Amino acid sequence: MLTTQILYALAGCVIMALGLRGALLHASLLQRIVAINVMGAGVFMLLIAVAYRGPGLPPDPVPHALVLTGIVVAVSATALALALVRRLHAEQDDD
């Protein structure tokens, strides 16, 4: 049980809670998208903290691969969400 692991895992939980609260409470769509990205970053921090095994051992590569996949999927989801927001604003302006 490493201190570093505990520190980063707790910070990851806090960041995830902040992101979740922001995603549920903000009324602005763009800020919700940012909040969901922050929530994702908290989860990534949890995974990488779990993968860290101390300065001597090499870290566990499976959570690293998961986080790498997660980052790419998060950006593509963000891109789709932003395109949806843009189309939504365009439709609302037409009314």
Partner 1 sequence: MNTMSLLVFDGLLLLSIVGLAWASLATTDIRRGVILFIAFGLLLAVAWGRLLAPDVALAEAAIGAGLSGALLLAAVHRQPRPLPPGSANDSMNRGTAAVSMAVRWAVTLLSAALAGTLAWALLHAFSSTPHDMLPRAISGNLAASGVSNPVTAVLLNFRAYDTLLELAVLLTAVLGIFSLGQATPGYRPAGPIFDGLVRWLVPVLILMAGYLLWVGAHAPGGAFQAGATLAAAGVVLRLAGRSRIGLPDGFMLRIVMAAGVGVFLLVGLSLLLLGRPFLAYPPAWAGALILLIETAAMLSIAATLLLAFLGGQPESTGVKAAANRQREELPRC
Within positions 9 to 68, which residues make up the interface with partner 1, using CB under 8 A? 9-11, 13-22, 24-31, 33-35, 37-38, 41-42, 44-46, 48-53, 55, 58-62, 64-65, 67-68
How many residues of this chain bind partner 1 (CB under 8 A)?
75
Shortest Å, Cβ 45 to partner 1? 7
Shortest Å, Cβ 6 to partner 1? 6
Closest CA to 45 of 71, 74, 9, 5: 9
Q: Is 77 in the site for partner 1 (CB under 8 A)?
A: yes
Q: Is 74 in the site for partner 1 (CB under 8 A)?
A: yes
Q: Please report, for residues 45, 52, 61, 71, 84, the alpha-carbon distance to residue 13 in angstroms, rounded to integers and kept in the order given.
A: 8, 16, 21, 18, 29
Please give the DSSP secondary-structure letter assigned to residue 15.
H
Q: Rounded CA gap, 36 and 63, in Å?
A: 20
